[in-house]
Amino acid sequence: MLANFWWGSKEGGQKMHWLSWHRMAISKQKGEMGFRGTSDFNKALLGKQCWRVLTDENSLLGKIFKGRYFPNYFFLEASAGYQPSYVWRSILSARELMHGGSRWAVGNGSKIKIWKDNWLQGHSNPKFCSPVNILSESATMSELIDFDLMRWNVNVIRQVFSPYEADIISSMPLSSRLPEDKLVWPTEKNGMFSVKSAYHTLCNTNLSHLPTSSSHSLSKLLKRIWFLHLLTRVRNFIWRLAKNIIPTRGNLSRRGVPLDTICPLCFQESETTDHLFMICPLAQ
C-alpha cells in the first residue's frame, strides 16, 4: 500500500523528495501549492524598507542611512561603504528587487537616468535599446525636455533615439507644472510598493527559470482543485494525485527503490496511481 503521503518519504533511512521547493512555492492561482518561501518573503519585506528610504529621505530611517552611507549620492547609486551594518547590507540585498519592479513617472526628469533607470510605462522592457550617443551615459530625462515650452525637445530626442523609440517618448504626456519625478510600483493600483506584490514578483522570476512541467489541460485542472468545496486535506490529496507524486509502489520503483511493484490488494498488476485508484478490483 501507499508509503508516507507527505512531500518526502523515507526508504532505507533516506528521505525522498517528490516535488522541488520552487514548485511548491508557486501560487495556487497557477495550480501549485502556494507555500510561502521564507527567503523570498524576507527579501520582499526588506524591499519595503528600500522603498521608504528611496521615496522619503526625510524619514528618520532615510536620514540615518543617507547621512551614514550616501550623503552625496542617490540611494540607487549608494554602495555598501566602509564597515556597513548588518541592517544596511540587508537593505541593499533587496534593492535590486525594488529597482527592477518599480517605474519612474516622469515629472521634471531631474532624478531619472535615461539609460540606467526604469521609466518606460506599460512596456515589458522599461529601458530603451538605443546606444548611448550625444548625451552622456549618466544623462537625466531633464535633458530631453524643453523647459521654455514645457514639452519634450523633439529635436534632441530624434538625434538620440531610434525613430520607433523617439515616437514613444514624444507621445508620453508631460505635466505643464513639471513636478518632481515620482517612483511608482506598477503592479499596485495606488502605485505604492506592497510586500505581497513584491513577493509574487520574486516567485514569477523564479518560475521563469523553471521548465514547464504541466500541460495546459492539467494546469487548468490543478487550479480548479483548490476551489473545490472540500476539506483542505482532501484537496491536498487530490492535488498530489493529479500531479502523480503519490508514493505508490510503481512510483517508488521508478525512483530506484528496490521493492516488489505488484499491487498487494489484487496481486494482478503493478501498483501505479491509475491502478490503485481506478483499475484495481478492490478500488472499483
> In 3-state terms, what secondary structure has residue 44?
helix
Q: What would the mean pLDDT of 237-253 be, rounded to a whole number? A: 90
Q: Could you read off the pLDDT of 144-167 as tens digits, one per residue? A: 999 888 889 999 999 888 888 888
What's the CA gap between 42 and 39, in Å, rounded?
5
What predicted TM-score, i.e. pTM, was given to this entire model? Answer: 0.67
pLDDT for 25: 73
Find cell 529635436 and name the residue. 155
Residue 278 DSSP label: I
Confidence tier at 21 by pLDDT (50, 70, 90): confident
Q: What would the mean pLDDT of 223-245 be, rounded to a whole number? A: 90
Q: Are strands 151-152 and 103-105 parallel, antiparallel or unpaired?
A: unpaired
Q: Is the pLDDT at 210 greater than 60, yes or no?
A: no
